[in-house]
Structures are given as structure tokens and as C-alpha cells.
Structure 1
Amino acid sequence: MGGNLLKLLSRHLKTLAKLPPSKLTPHIPRVLALRSPTLREVDAHLTIIAGGTSPPFPFPTPDHYYEWARSDTHVDQIKVPFLALNAADDPIVRTLPVEAVVASKTVVLGVTPKGGHLGWFEGGSPWNRKQPPPRWVKKPVVEWVGATNEVLVEQRREVRDEWALDEESGFILEKDRRHIGFKVLDLDGIVVGTAGEAEGVLQGL
């Protein structure tokens, strides 16, 4: 995963070179000099420095960043139907919030014995771009969305009334919590598993 992040960084070196010097500047040649870097090594040079806005970035160490970014401590705050899938052999996610999920009325956690980190390939080779293997994860996600839609179909009008368009920003905002909202940027792109790399607003997905 660290290597993939470096490839993404390399594509934007010309753009980065045009920017004024920053705290990130001295770290770019250091991280590019790494050979087969781990994700933690890349995070130590890039993510903890330029992974987001300040505050809370930058972070002093990857561990501080991981503690801030973890989502397992916020399960009780999820108020809408939510499906979480994880593989027991995931090298990144080592702790699962089982007790919090059991106590939740909205969250379902599915755990598979194998699958890696966002993998779940069904046969073939993930490196074959001409014919990438299918991903099992599509099936449960489609089933979940369909089932959730059936359950909530009678509640659509009520949910719709809780949102309103902000004319100035173009965002659809919750009426009672106006810091929560969304805005449609593009309706043309579709991410299809590992079949090539997405561009534009979908890059990285």
C-alpha cells in the first residue's frame, strides 16, 4: 500500500514543485527514496503532515494520526442503517468494535475469515488489468442497499423533509444540523472494482 501511495505522489510532482515551500517540501525526496515502503513509513513522511487541514494536522507521529482517524470509537454515533464489512486477516484494521455493534440498533458488522484489506478477490489475479478478478464484496453491498431501501421506502418523504438546499453554497443540508450535508459534483463516473484507475474526482477509489 505504501508503494501505491508513492506512485500517486509521483504523478503530481510537477504540480507540487510549483507550490511555495512548506513543511511537506523536505519530506518529498525522503519518501521517494524509500524502497518498498510500508504504509506507516509513507504516513510518517506525508500523511501526518499534509493529510488534511490544520487543525488537526499535522500530527507528531503516525500513532497520533491513527488514534485520531480511528472510527471504531464512534459506532454509537451512527444513527442511520450502516453496513460494515471487514476481513479477519486485514493487515490494517486489527480491532473490531464488536460490543458497540451488538449494542447498536443501526449498525451491522460482517466479518469474513479472508479478504485482506479491501480485497475479497474471487479467483484470478488482482494484478491482471486486462481481466481483473471480480470482488465478492459487491454482492453483500447490493443486497444490503436493496433490503434497506425496501424497509425505508415508506419513510422517504419524512427523511426528505429533513433536508433543504442552501442556495448560496449549493449544498443539501440537514435543517437542524446545518454543518452536515452533501453536494453532487459529478454523475458521469462509475468505479468498477479494479478495472483500471479512476480519474478526476473519483481518483483513488
Structure 2
Amino acid sequence: MYYKTIVLLSIAGRPVSTYGTQMLLRDRYAQLWHDRHGVATVPLRYCNIYGMDVAGETLCGLPGTFVRQLTADGSITVFGDGRQTRDFVHVDDVVRATIGAATTRRVGKAYTVGSGESTSVRTVARLVRDHVDPSAEIDFDEEYDGAVRDSHADISNARAWLDFEPTRSIEGCLGDRIAGVSR
């Protein structure tokens, strides 16, 4: 069953998953070390990262998973109806935000790093399929219990304090990359 609300990743305090609880604890530990010991902590909450690996050979993240499924099995499997949304952020944008975190004067606070846009899992599956094998099937399997239905990152603090502005959209980035790794 999905949780029916959109989760704003900047809101902490009431996680609905084990992962969310881990994020909250990490943020609180960082705040504690900053407040009690003066350690300049800057926890970053990365959204769904995608992009090429260091060698430039493998597409990573959910798009990479779909490419691997398609090339191995001839189809893509999506859990749930595919209409659930995620905030996908390109690895190049993540690197820029991380550099911004290393140089910010506003320490002791957590920042969410995402694109600030929601994209459905079904859209990502279709983008991959259309670039690898347009005739391939997209199969839908049972949703898993406890999944968040929709997520959308509030990146306003990262924009303000890390001088962060995402420059890559998942729709714009996937075509060339998928074509290169799927052949």
C-alpha cells in the first residue's frame, strides 16, 4: 500500500519508512555534533540519483536498472502502477551541490539535493524503452508495502545557501546516455 500524501523531503520529524528514520537520525546526529562540539556538519539528503558511473560505461540509478532489465529480459518491470513519482537528480548536479556544501557558511543544517521536479516511474520506464527497444513491454508488478506514493524535493534551502541550481532534467539526459550504453 502506498502512502497517499506527497512527501516533501525538507520536512523531518515524522518519517514513514525505515529509510526516512535513518535520514532523520543522521540529520539529528549532525546537528548534535555541530551544537555540542562545534563540528561544521552539513548533511545532504540526496534524492534519486541517476547518471553515468565514474568510467562512463554504466548508467546508474533507476534508469540503469531499467536498461539492465530490458537488455537481459526484454522487458521492464515496474512495481505498482508506475504513476508514483520521484525527484530524480543527475549526478553532475549532486557534485555541484556537494561542492557548495563544502564551502557554505551555514553549517549544522541539512539540505535536500534534488531537481525540484517530480517524474513518474512510468515516464522513466517509457523513456528507457523508447530509446532501447520501443516494442518492449513494460510489466507492472505488485506494489510493495510501505512505499511512498509521491516525492518532491523542496530544494529552496540548497538554492539559497549552497548556490545550487539543478541544470539537468531526466528527460533531457537519458536519450543520449541510454543509446550509448544499450548498444
- TM-score norm. by structure 1 comes to 0.24
Q: Which has the higher strand share?
A: 2
Q: Return the index of the structure with the highest Cα Rg.
A: 1
- Which one has more relative contact order, counting CA pairs under 8 Å at least 6 apart? 2
- TM-score norm. by structure 2 comes to 0.26
